Amino acid sequence: MASDRPYSSIIERLKNAGLRPTRQRLALAKLLFEKGNRHLTAEHLHGEASAANVRISLATVYNALHQFTAAGLLREVVVEPGRSYFDTNVEEHHHFYREDTCGLEDIPGEHLQVGDLPAPPAGTSVTRVDVVIRVKSDQGST
């Protein structure tokens, strides 16, 4: 059985981020954070909400995703023009991107080290280093 306060930690996370724990944000947070690491687009999450009988407008999904991202609860990943993915894993890590299926996967953090980082342009400092390993299915796939 689940705890009798299944939302309490999510409510805390939202409050700490300065966001009111509204019905919509709770529902989205639940979908996002209670299933392990996920990589979702806004449309996709909106679809999941509908499937879970949570009526919510697409605009609200976009708002929530950006607010969660600003609060550090999500991370936005850009791998394709015209579509944003939101990653529930905010630890330092990188991605595989399957060009044929448009699927994103985390690369475990221990792997992949980026060395010999050059100095950033004068007057700037690094905010993040993104590595995307693009892959495609092998030819003779069944």
What amino acid is encoded at 45 in this protein? L
Q: What are phi and psi of 70, to 5 degrees?
A: -60, -30
Q: What are phi and psi of 96, to 5 degrees?
A: -95, 140
Smallest separation (angstroms) from a second copy to the CB of 125: 6
| Token couple for 82 | 């015209």
CA distance 107 to 130: 12
Label the pairing between strands 75-80 and 94-98.
unpaired
Residues that bind DNA (CB under 7 A): 19-25, 41-43, 55-60, 62-64, 66, 81-84
Encoded one letter per residue, x for contact with a second copy by CB under 8 A and - for no contact, window 9-48 reads ----------------------------------------
Cβ closest to DNA, residue 25 vs residue 38: 25
For residue 81, state whether it binds a second copy (rule: CB under 8 A). yes
Residue 76 bridge partners (DSSP): 86
| Token couple for 126 | 């690094």
Smallest separation (angstroms) from a second copy to the CB of 109: 11
For residue 102, state whether it binds a second copy (rule: CB under 8 A). no
* Interaction site with a second copy (CB under 8 A): 76, 78-84, 96, 98-99, 105, 107-108, 111-118, 120-121, 123-138, 141
